[in-house]
Amino acid sequence: MLNLSRLVLLALGIALAAPLTALAAYPEKPVKIIVPFGAGGSSDMSARLIAKAIEKDKGVSIAVVNIAGGGTAPGNLEASKARPDGYTLLWQHKTLITAHHTGVSALNWDAFTPICNVLLFNEVLHVHKDNAAISTMPALLEKAKENPESLRFPVQIGAGAHFGALAVEKAGGVTFHIIASGGDMDRLNEQLGRRVDVVFQSIPPTLPHIEAGTIIPIAVGAEERDPKLPDVPTFRELGYDIITTFNLGLYGPKGLPEDIVRWWEEAVRQVLADTDLQAELAKQSLYPAYRESQAFAAMLQHLDKELYDLAKVGGLLPQ
Amino acid sequence: MKRLLSEISAPFLILAAAAALFHHSRQLPPPRFEPMGPAFFPQLVLKGIIVLASYTIIKALYIYWKTGRREQSSSEAFKTAQSGRGNLLPAVTVALFAGYILLIVFTDLHFLLLSFLFICVLCCVLNGSVRSCWLPAVLSAAGVVAAMYLVFGLLLGTFFP
Amino acid sequence: MDILSAITGGFALLCQPDILLIIVTGTAIGICVGSIPGLTATMAIAMAVPVTYGLDAMQGLSLLISVYVGGMTGGLVSAVLLNIPGTPSSIATTYDGHPMAAAGEPGKALGYGITASFLGGGFSYLCLLFLAPALAAVALELSSFEVFAIVMCALVMIADTSQAPLSKALTTGLIGLFIGCVGPDPIMGLPRFSFGSDHLTSGFAELSLLIGLFAIPQLLDDVGSVREPLKTFSVAYRHIIPRLQEVRESALNIIRSSCIGTLIGLVPGVGASTASLLAYNQAKLSSNTPEKFGTGLKDGIIASEAANNAVTGGAQIPLLTLGLPGCPAAALLLSGLMINDLAPGPQLFINAPEVTYGFMLAFIAANIAMFLLMLLFIKPFAMVLKIPKYLLIPPILAFCVIGAYGSNNRFMDIWVVFGFGLLGYALEKKGYPLAPMVLGLILGPIAEMQLRRGLTASKGSFMPLLERPVCLVFLGIAFIVMVYPFIRQYLKKRSQARQAHPA
């Protein structure tokens, strides 16, 4: 009888301890983080910096895998099909949602388990120095109102930049002449060649030209001023509700266990506190923006609605 | 007649494929931000292919009708210059290559191991006899696999399937 | 700081033993990687990037630069020896390089290629050093319409460069254009011709197509002839290095091709394959014996290789002066600069002039290293041809597989290599040339994208194509190229008729 109860206690103990041991053991093998962007770009580099930091901090092995192309849809798909065992994750920003609303990707953010938000980068609206007359928001909007659909605004059709342009149109109650262009570099090229009037793009490529005075920044689409452009106001300060911050976060396949989510939250929180990493990230104008999974999900839900509305107005919804 | 068929089989297949793809391209969405739209360019290209393939077929038929046999044109010269020596080896190579890829994709066997085996086997097959070539085959396979590991595994950080 | 003291400062930075050692090693690595079919110059730079984390600015940049220069030249080796271009920029080199090698003069073919690469690259690096700001201003004036006109000009040349009958070359060229359409629409991003398959929504990877269409058919062809005895050839140095006389004869060709390469390098997103094609075609048009192109004429090799190396220098101009990388390799160099807190742009010349000029001088140093190393390597490279084919073919096939899979980790890429390899082999057997197909699938998407982008800017009007001078120039050249074969044929027939019936 004593043996049986001991046996039962032992069994009970193992059953209770098993999840704890599983937690302690995770990750047992290398974790794959899928980055649906091209190698070398800032979205890719950011993932690698964070991955390296967590590797060193936690003594685990992380492999960053690029699956670029197709508007990030193939990379998203690959990550969503993986088993929710915490060994395949996704590193994404708002393109996860915008690609869905333009019909490029079948999956939206809710096809995944949002783990946590990690970093952010901001965008700045700028004009060429030859266009100094419209280098303030009021002047820009006035000219845009007088000449609807004539101020040339290059975007990558359907990408985050396009939504940024639509956000400015919405907040200002104006319309621009939207021109199809490419990524940051292409649009900067158009600006420097004076073939366009106003550009909204990520900050790093613009900095040398702002310093040289060729480009005049108007405002930054963020909650707070960007450290790289301390003298440039945010749209909010000027009275316009335009936030186009790109938030880079980690996602897992649907049904990812709670304890794995917690593990990553904690890992990210820890590395983001390291000042060396912060300095490294700041070099690329990337800033810590930690949000744990509930807050992250809430943010995504809000962003989803906002981007859907913009897509509808801008004629980007699939027909 | 057989020669005529062999001459027009390729353009005919190309024509059929182009026509089918053109039909499929009708589903593409209409232009939205500029006048061309997604369908204009592919359809233009497909139309060009259809025209050229038809031209090739009609020309071959015309010549056949006129002369009763296929003309010794420059295309013939180009073809015979390029054609292989008519043996089974390319087919065998293709089969082995297909097998290699199938094993890579559908089994969990490591790429480096499969590559090693593939190189050894194919070397010997191409050489014709196993005895005279197994040593250089194995050595070269080992060397190549080591180079692959170095270049792709360590330096590029790729993952082997 | 004036330009002379900046150059001297850069020179001083460059001439340290560790930097020079890095340059020589980097160039050697680049050459080796570039010469293996399935591996490209961009991959070589990507390999070197992690190594630069522990190095200081000048060291890291020298490494990346030398690997880049070596990699671009390495493509010439497999193009000449194996008829498999190591990179798309060496496609035009295969037209005359391989026939010359097959005729028993591989060393000579390599020699022409190396010399042309050295001179073409050197020309563009001198432009970089002394004319960067002026040329950058030119680059900024190019809108989507200009880029479209340039690429269109190259497109009409793709079918003119092979020995095959025009109708078949045009057919494969158009097939190539269509293959380039499979995948996301260049403007909207929605998939075209994916037939509902997830695997096709992002289209075919360019590298996989290149490997599938060039390497596989060539290798299968070699398999067909694997039992044949190998030809003998000489690799004595006097047979390899072009005589000064020959260089002087080709001076016009070299200068013209280098100019084309440097200017094309300025244009973002166009690429070295366009440059080498344009240069090849221009050499053919200006030649007294255009019909000999494609049989092993040295002018063809020289034009193609001078142009594609000149692109490397040209591409640095927008990178350094404006921070705009024109191709993936330049983007990697950009990240190399950024990691070392060197933001390229107008301020770079002011804030860090020695490093900036050191960067440019490193190209020249790598160019010299490349020339010397290649001369050293010619014999071992040519020895590759002495390796029995049965030992050579299987490893290359294996490299093709991993080369295709490596960049995006998709099995689909391997299937693309296999499928298009078989398709290419079948087409080639039926007399259809493959080079126009590959050029079509590279250039087609660029042309379509640029035209449609331009149309959004002009609100649907095609007029800029006729109004802007650069567009007119290139479209004019395109027109001439298109009608030239017919005009030439007509003139020949007329002169033949005159000879047959003297009036």
**pLDDT averaged over consecutive 10-residue blocks of chain C (503 residues)?**
80 88 92 83 82 85 93 89 85 89 84 93 93 87 91 86 78 94 88 84 86 90 76 64 82 94 89 89 84 84 94 91 85 83 81 87 93 86 78 86 80 91 91 89 92 92 90 91 80 83 67
Task: Tell me: do B69 and B32 sit in the same domain.
Answer: yes
The separation between CA B134 and the C-alpha centre of its own chain, rounded to angstroms, equals 29
For residue B62, name the pLDDT band (cuts at 50, 70, 90). Answer: confident
Q: What is the pLDDT of residue C290?
A: 77
Is the model more confident about B71 or about A253?
A253
- Together in a domain, B108 and B145: yes
Chains in touch with B (≥3 Cβ pairs < 8 A):
A, C
Q: Same structural domain for residues B120 and B140? A: yes
Query: Which residue shows structure tokens 């101009």?
Result: C317
Among the partner residues B52, B73, B156, nearest to C43 by beta-carbon distance: B156
Q: How far is A157 from chain B (nearest CA, A)?
A: 9
Min mean pLDDT across A32-46, A282-296, C379-393 is at C379-393
Preferred mutation among B27, B28, B32, B33 to probe A, highest tally of A CBs within 10 A = B33
Q: Which structural domain, as residue segments, surrounds residue B24? A: 2-82
Write out chain C residues lying below 8 Å of A102, CB-based: 188-190
Q: Rounded to an integer, what distance in angstroms lies between the CA atom of residue A165 and that of residue A178?
A: 8
pLDDT given at position C82: 86
Last residue of a domain, one of B24, B47, B82: B82
CB contact under 8 A, B33 and C444: no
C-contacting chains (≥3 CB pairs under 8 Å): A, B
- Among C448, C456, C461, C468, pick the best mutation site for testing chain A contact (most A Cβ within 10 A): C456
Q: How confident is the model at residue A2 (pLDDT cuts 50, 70, 90)?
A: low
Q: What is the arithmetic mean of pLDDT over A292-299?
A: 95
| B40 and B100 share one domain | no
Question: Which parts of C311-452 are beta strand (E)?
Answer: none
Q: Which helix (H) or strand (E) holds C178?
A: helix C166-181
pLDDT score, position C420: 94
Q: Which residues of C touch A157 (CB under 8 A)?
A: 187-189
- Evaluated on CA atoms A262, A265, A269, A271, the torsion sign reads positive
Identify all chain B residues contacting C405, using CB atoms and an 8 Å cutoff: 158, 161
Domain co-membership, A136 together with A231: yes
Q: Which member of C219, C398, C452 has the closest CB to residue B36? A: C452
Residues A36 and A103 in one domain: yes
CB-based contact A65 B159, cutoff 8 Å: yes
Q: Of B82, B99, B124, which one is at a domain's C-terminal end? A: B82
Whether pLDDT at A12 is above 80? no
Please tell me which of the candidates A63, A65, A315 has its beta carbon nearest to residue B32: A315
Does one domain contain both A116 and A130? no
Final residue of a structural domain among A238, A269, A292: A238
> Is the domain of B74 the same as that of B98?
no
Range of the domain at A168: 123-238
List the single residue in C with minimal CA-CA distance to B49. Answer: C171
Comparing CA positions, the residue from C167, C437, C159 lying closest to residue B57 is: C167
- Torsion angle of the four alpha carbons B31, B32, B38, B44, in this order, in degrees rounded to the nearest 10: 30
Question: pLDDT for C137-184, tens place per residue?
Answer: 888 889 999 999 999 988 888 887 666 788 888 999 999 999 999 988
Residue A3, pLDDT score: 62
Q: Find which of C42, C270, C322, C327 to mutate to test the A interface (most A CBs within 10 Å of its CB).
A: C322
Residues A268 and A221 in one domain: no
d(CA C173, CA C443): 10
Q: Distance (Å, rounded) from C-alpha B105 to C-alpha C107?
A: 40
Paired residues of A91 in beta bridges:
A250
pLDDT digits (tens, 9 = 90+) for C62-108: 999 999 999 888 889 889 888 888 788 888 899 899 888 888 788 88
* Domain of residue A105, CATH code: 3.40.190.150
Q: How many CB pairs under 8 A join B and C?
A: 191
Residue A127 shares a structural domain with residue A84: no
- Indicate if B12 and B29 belong to the same structural domain: yes
Do A287 and A276 lie in one domain? The reply is yes
- C342: closest chain A residue by CA: A208
CB burial class (10 A; 0-12, 13-18, 19+) of residue C56?
A: exposed
User: By a Cβ cutoff of 8 Å, what residues of chain B touch chain A?
Assistant: 29-30, 32-34, 157, 159
Domain ranges for chain C, please list them.
3-500
Sign of CA dihedral A52, A53, A58, A64: negative
Q: Which amino acid type is present at position B135?
A: L
Q: What are the tokens at B92?
A: 């065998």
Distance (Å) of CA C395 to CA B95, B118, C380, C401? 16, 9, 18, 10
Q: Supply the pLDDT for residue C409.
A: 76
- Interchain CB distance below 8 Å, A178 and B32: no
CB contact under 8 A, A207 and C343: yes
d(CA A229, CA A215): 13
Q: Same domain, yes or no, for B97 and B68? A: no
* B75 and B94 belong to one structural domain: no
Question: pLDDT band at B77, cuts 50/70/90?
Answer: very low
Q: Are C258 and C250 in contact (CB under 8 A)?
A: no
Structural domain contains residue B161? no
**Mean of all residue pLDDT scores within chain A:** 89
Residues of chain A in contact with residue C453, where contact means CB-CB under 8 angstroms, are: 179-182
Contact between C335 and A40 using a beta-carbon 8 Å cutoff: yes
A30 lies in some domain: yes
- Say if A3 falls within a structural domain: no
Q: Which pLDDT value is given to residue A11?
A: 57
- Per DSSP, the three-state class of A218 is strand
Q: Looking at residue A242, what is its pLDDT?
A: 93
Q: Which of A63, A65, A180 sits opposite B33 (nearest CB)?
A: A180
Look at chain B and report how many structural domains it folds into: 2
Query: Rounded CA gap, C273 and C292, in Å?
Result: 22
| 3-class DSSP assignment, residue A199 | strand
CA distance linking residue A35 with residue B51, whole number of Å: 43
Q: A180, B159: Cβ pair inside 8 Å? A: no
Instruction: Tell me, yes or no, whether A8 lies in a domain.
Output: no
On whether both B71 and B100 belong to a single domain, the answer is no
Q: What's the gap in Å between the CA of B159 and the closest CA on chain A?
A: 8
How many domains would you assign to chain A? 2
Distance CA A65, CA A34 (A): 5
Contacts of C425 in chain B (CB under 8 A): 90
Q: Would you list which residues of chain A are within 8 Å, Cβ to Cβ, of chain B?
A: 63, 65, 157, 178, 180, 315, 319
| Count of CA atoms in the C-beta half-sphere (13 A) of C176 | 32
Distance between A215 CA and the closest CA of chain B, angstroms: 28
* pLDDT tens profile B12-46: 999 999 999 999 999 888 888 888 889 999 999 99
Instruction: Check residue A6 and give its pLDDT.
Output: 64
A301 lies in the same domain as A155: no
Interface with C, mutate which of A157, A184, A187, A190 (most C CBs under 10 A): A157
Query: What is the chain B residue with the closest CA to A177?
Result: B33
- Closest alpha carbon within chain A to C408: A67
Summarised one tens digit per residue, pLDDT across range A211-236 is: 889 999 999 999 999 999 999 999 99
Output the pLDDT for position C53: 79
Cβ pair A63:B32 closer than 8 A: no
pLDDT the model gives residue B81: 47
Return the structure tokens found at A284. Answer: 């690329």
Q: Do B93 and B78 lie in a common domain? A: no
CATH code assigned at A203: 3.40.190.10
CA distance C268 to chain A (A): 8
Asked if pLDDT for residue B85 goes beyond 50, the answer is no
Does some domain include residue A5? no
Block residue for tokens 């449609």: C452
Residues B110 and B63 in one domain: no
**Where do the DSSP E strands lie in C163-230?**
183-184, 191-192
3-state helix, strand, coil in chain A (%, to 5): 50, 20, 30
Query: Which of residues A192, A221, A238 is at a domain's end?
Result: A238
**B23: three-class secondary structure by DSSP:** helix
Among B82, B114, B139, residue at a domain's last position: B82
Query: From CA A96, how far away is CA A151, in angstroms rounded?
Result: 29
